[in-house]
Chains A and B, each alone.
Chain A
Amino acid sequence: MSTASPAAVAPALALRGITKRFGTLTANDDVSLTVAPGEVLALLGENGAGKSTLVSILFGHYMADAGEIEVFGQPLAPGKPEAALAAGVGMVHQHFTLADNLTVLDNVMVGTESLWRPASRRRQASEKLVALGARFGLAVDPQARVADLSVGEKQRVEILKALYRGARILILDEPTAVLTPQEVDGLFATLRGFIAEGLAVVFISHKLDEVMAVSHRVAVLRRGKLVAERDTRATSPAELAELMVGRKVVLPRAQATTRAEQASPVVTLSQVTVRGSRGAAPKLDALDLTVHRHEIVAIAGVAGNGQHALVSVLTGMARPHDGTIRLGPEHAPAPQTPAQWTAASVGRIPEDRHHEGLIGDNPLWENAIVEDLHASRFARFGLVRASAGRTFAQSLVDQFDVRAASLDVRSRSLSGGNMQKLILGRALSREPRLIVADQPTWGLDVGAVAYVRERLLAARERGAGILLVSEDLDEIFALADRIAVLCAGRLVADRPVGDWTPATVGLAMTGALPDFAAVSHSDLTAAV
């Protein structure tokens, strides 16, 4: 066990030999961990490495097949969430478990009072909540409706909910996925406050820079096994990445292209507006944007600021209420239906690969040809040409390294990475002029992320223009030629990647126009 913990006293949390099997799959294999009070332990691992299973066992959602858990020296009854709560284990889920139509106070109090109590002690609860917020710098108005809060504030409510119940061990599952860089900094400051008060924190993530920034120790899970424990100060992101994946991984980055090639536009949006339903704020507000050949334009923004509407109008799933979209240097009018968008040489990679990119119940080979079902090479006299379809699917499987038992497996049984490779192959094999990629690496393991990025960069090299919607700033800075930031449906700024820093992108994500003067000083003086 590591020795460099801030406090090497009795552990707040000790897992011993936790093993959990699902059928033939061993999700957790003899995992032993300890967390000391006042310590942040980062649990690092790819998707499917067993992080979530481990946490579910700890919180009593699953029962381990073997092993035991101790909290502050006391054995924890397995399989009982209420026992975990009582022992002081608090959990902040990645997807918030808040009732939107209730107030912050209601959400925090729910389940904490006996149903037999004649009157609810709301005033005391409210005071306690405010005091907790002040103590940890988590100020939230107890009377605010949760629906009106920002994502960062909702997360604060989740944390307060755990603290209100007296949590001494806080488990945070991928807490930064939905936050702006500034909000992430705020969260980290809060966590430092916790450890100063002697709380123990388990921080689950697959983002290496965050793990490096916030944790004292890192435990790496791979295929259910604890493969390494490191002192954060004594390790590096490169080492952690290698431990996590099991081999060396180099994530590809864009090389600058020559400006001359970028002159020709592949898609031009002018004043594109998508109205909200029933008088709500517009989802896209008079958006002007152009993507050129040989160019990756990244759309940055906090989730829910118009990315979905933008992708919808660029994939044929919705039409703008106002404004125009033109394709190619010839400024051809935009197609109407999804099928026409595909036919107009647009490759579409949807955000939701399970429910939009693939038809899970259909076999792999049918999913490979479904966009081309009208094409004569796959259909004749109203009959599907299965042999041609299978040949094509086999070529996709070979070229794009899709790992599947056969062409006939239901596509829902593919892993996330293999689903994405299939979708990518289907979109890229037609060599589209424009690629609309919505969160193309979301939830993929590092190996698959590297693969997807490589393919997108290769497409850009070939001459495609790519609109990349991503919430991962690392990815945006690694791939983009230009970054455009969306906030509340408006384009805050659209500039070459060199003008941006993660901090200015973060600022723009909140709607404020960053000061680019330091970078584009010459432009300013010219204007004056």
Chain B
Amino acid sequence: MKYSLERRPEPSRVAMAIAPLAAVACTLIICALLVAWAGAPVGRTYVLLFEGAFGSRFAWAETLTRATPIMLTGLACAVAFRARFYNIGAEGQLYLGALAAVAVGGMHGGVGLDLPLPVLAVGMMLAAALAGALLLLIPALLKTRLGVDEVVTTLLGNFIVLLFVSMLLDGAMKDPMAMGWPQSVALNPDLEFSKLIARTRAHTGLLWAVGLAIALWLINRYTVFGFKMRSVGANAHASRFLGLPVTRVMLGTAMLSGALAGLAGAIEVAGRTSYVTLDMSPGYGYTGVVVAMLAGLHPLGVIAASVFVAGMLVGADSMSRAIAVPNYIADVIVAVSLLTMLVATLFAQYRVRRG
């Protein structure tokens, strides 16, 4: 008896919509085994996990705060992956974006740049986007010109960026008020985002992220550039034959992706941290990869996927304080959900045939 996979000519929309839900359900079942192994009651653990993530106004605020940067890095990955450009460097682009934002909007010498506030606000965001875009342009050019694999260059580039940022935090961008603590000068407090929910950390950066997700969806669906991005991603060879500027589209897509990750850095600084520190991102760039895959690379799906992933991370923190399950379970849930999502997508696109 043999089984084989056969591509469905027209993947059903229902199956594509159910896939992420089924993946999450399977993930929770698989992780329940680990919880049981840790000796904790499975039901209560999950109740605490979800209460910690979505159970109160405060929980929601924390989840949305955490969701904001990973929504942006998720978008960065989704855009690039759609064009088959595997940007694993969102982490580095985020840090460089944060640094660029502080370079424009920071309190250098205690006062900062002598420019009107609106100019600084726009400049801060543009600088972050540009920093991320130009950073990703390097691996993109290496790929299109020399055929260098972008997974390697973007992934390893992260470490170079982190060390570069570390150098600046101890040098040119060092905060003179930090008593030797490695952090950048502070952002101009007038440039910080306002709160989205009073007396919590949730900030209006979330609106930026959701707005960009919707904008990307519109670009994909209605614009010539979106058409080209989809085409090049689906079949670069045919796109070239059919007269689309494949290299330009590839570079444009890479810059868009880098810009989104760079903005994640600026929004974290302006919304939450006020400084650039070396621990400002616990791997948001990598979490973005998972979020993009969970979302099926769909920009609107990224919104839901990032809230789910953020909820697991936040919920696990509060759950682990109440019960003897380490909060690493969140990392396991996120990792397993990536795997189950890949399987679920496979089944949505292929059917199993016996014999």
Contact = CB atoms under 8 A, between A and B. Distances in A.
Contact of A370 (B6, B223, B231, B351): B231
A355 B237 contact: yes
Nearest to B10: A413
B227 A361 contact: no
A69 to B, nearest CB: 14
A413 B12 CA distance: 13
Contacts of A315: 241
A102 interface: no
A412 B241 contact: no
Interface residues of B, number: 29
A373 B238 contact: no
Given A338-B241, A357-B238, A382 B227 contact: no
Contacts of B351: 23
A79 B245 CA distance: 48
Interface in B216-230: 222-228, 230
A339 B243 contact: yes
B242 A371 contact: yes
Contacts of B241: 315, 317, 338, 348, 350, 356-357
Given A22-B353, A413-B9, A359 B238 contact: yes
A218 B310 CA distance: 66
Contacts of B243: 316, 337-339, 341-342, 370-371, 373-374
A317 B240 contact: yes
A366 B244 CA distance: 13
B355 interface: yes
A384 interface: yes
Given A371-B242, A383-B222, A412-B9, A62 B237 contact: no
Given A371-B243, A373-B244, A361 B235 contact: yes
Contact of A410 (B9, B226, B227, B355): B9
Given A337-B243, A342-B243, A355 B222 contact: no
Contacts, number: 84
Contacts of A214: none
A337 B243 CA distance: 7
Contacts of A356: 237-238, 241
A366 B222 CA distance: 12
A384 B231 CA distance: 14
A12 B222 CA distance: 62
A143 interface: no
A338 B235 contact: no
A362 B10 contact: no
Nearest to B230: A362
Given A317-B240, A337-B243, A362-B230, A410 B10 contact: yes
Nearest to B351: A23
B224 A360 contact: no
Given A317-B241, A359-B231, A379 B10 contact: no
B224 A359 contact: no
A357 B235 CA distance: 10
B234 A359 contact: yes
A370 B242 contact: yes
A79 B238 contact: no
A382 B223 contact: yes
A409 to B, nearest CB: 6
B15 to A, nearest CB: 14
A246 to B, nearest CB: 24
27 contacts: A23-B351, A63-B354, A79-B355, A317-B240, A338-B243, A339-B243, A342-B243, A355-B235, A356-B237, A357-B238, A359-B238, A359-B239, A359-B242, A360-B235, A361-B230, A361-B234, A361-B235, A362-B234, A370-B243, A371-B242, A373-B227, A382-B223, A382-B225, A384-B222, A384-B223, A386-B222, A413-B9
Interface of A: 22-23, 62-63, 79, 315-317, 337-339, 341-342, 348, 350, 355-362, 366, 370-371, 373-374, 379, 382-384, 386, 409-410, 412-413
